[in-house]
Structure 1
Amino acid sequence: MFVTVVALATASAVIFGTADFFGGLATRRSRVLAVVVLSQLGGLALIGALIPFLSGSPNAPALMWGLAAGVVGGAAIVLFYRALAAGMMSVVAPTTAAASMALPVIFGLVAGDRPPALALVGIAVGLFAVVLVSREPNGPASAFKIGPVLAALAAGAGFGAFFVLIKLAPAEAGGWPLLAARAASVTLVAMLALAARRSLRPLPGSLPVTIAAGVLDMAANVLYLLAVQRGMLSLVAVLTSLYPASTLLLARYVLGERLSPVQITGVGFALGSIALIAAA
Structure 2
Amino acid sequence: MITVVLGLVGALVFGAADFLGGLSSKRISAVLTTAVSAVAGLVILGICALVVPGEWSTAAAVWGALSGVTGALAVFLLYACLAIGPMSILSPLTAVVSAVVPVTWGFIGGERLGPLAAAAIGLALVSVVLVGFVPEKGAVRPSAKGLIMAVASGALIGTFFILLDQTPDDSGLLPLVLNRGVNAAIMFTAFGIIVLVVRRGRARRAEPRPSVDARPAIRNGLALALACGALDGAANAVILVGLRAGDLSVMSVLIAMYPAGTILLAAVVLRERIAPLQWVGLALALAAAGILAVA
TM over 0.5: yes
Cα 1:212–1:78 shift into 2, 3 Å: same
Q: 1:57 maps to what in 2?
A: 55
Q: In 2, are the aligned partners of 1:100 and 1:156 still within 8 Å (CA)?
A: yes
Q: Structure 1-normalised TM-score?
A: 0.90
Q: Deviations over 1:218-243 (max 9, x none)?
A: 10000000000111100111111111
Q: In 1, are the aligned partners of 2:40 and 2:229 still within 8 Å (CA)?
A: yes
Q: Deviations over 1:197-235 (max 9, x none)?
A: 358x98232122111111101100000000001111001
* Count, aligned residues: 277
Q: 1:117 aligns with which of 115, 118, 123?
A: 115
Q: 2:72 aligns with which of 64, 69, 74?
A: 74
Q: 1:212 maps to what in 2?
A: 227
Alignment partners' CA distance in 1, 2:112 and 2:136? 39
Question: Does 1:231 find its partner at 2:229?
Answer: no
Cα 1:123–1:129 shift into 2, 3 Å: same
Alignment partners' CA distance in 2, 1:86 and 1:25? 17
Q: In 1, are the aligned partners of 2:86 and 2:139 still within 8 Å (CA)?
A: no
Q: 1:240 maps to what in 2?
A: 255
Q: Which stretch of the first structure deviates more once superposed, 87-96 or 124-133?
A: 87-96
What is the CA distance between 1:24 and its match in structure 2?
0.7
Alignment partners' CA distance in 1, 2:19 and 2:283? 20
Q: In 1, are the aligned partners of 2:66 and 2:163 still within 8 Å (CA)?
A: yes
Write out aligned runs for 1:131-142 (5 A): 131-139=129-137, 142=140
> Structure 1 vs Structure 2: percent identity of aligned residues?
35
Q: 2:30 aligns with which of 29, 32, 48?
A: 32
Q: 2:205 maps to what in 1?
A: none
Extract unaligned runs of 5+ from structure 1: none
Q: Which stretch of the first structure deviates more once superposed, 241-250 or 11-20?
A: 241-250
What is the CA distance between 1:93 and its match in structure 2?
4.0
Question: Does 1:203 find its partner at 2:218?
Answer: yes
Alignment partners' CA distance in 2, 1:16 and 1:239? 11
Cα 1:150–1:212 shift into 2, 3 Å: farther
Alignment partners' CA distance in 1, 2:233 and 2:63? 17
Q: Structure 2-normalised TM-score?
A: 0.86
Write out aligned runs for 1:1-280 (5 A): 3-83=1-81, 93-139=91-137, 142=140, 150-197=148-195, 203-280=218-295
Amino acid at match of 2:294: A
Amino acid at match of 1:232: D
| RMSD over aligned Cα atoms | 2.3
Q: Which stretch of the first structure deviates more once superposed, 218-227 or 177-186?
A: 177-186
Which of these two proteins has the greater Rg computed from alpha carbons?
A: 2
Cα 1:255–1:150 shift into 2, 3 Å: farther
Amino acid at match of 2:269: V
Extract unaligned runs of 5+ from structure 2: 199-214
Alignment partners' CA distance in 1, 2:15 and 2:109? 28
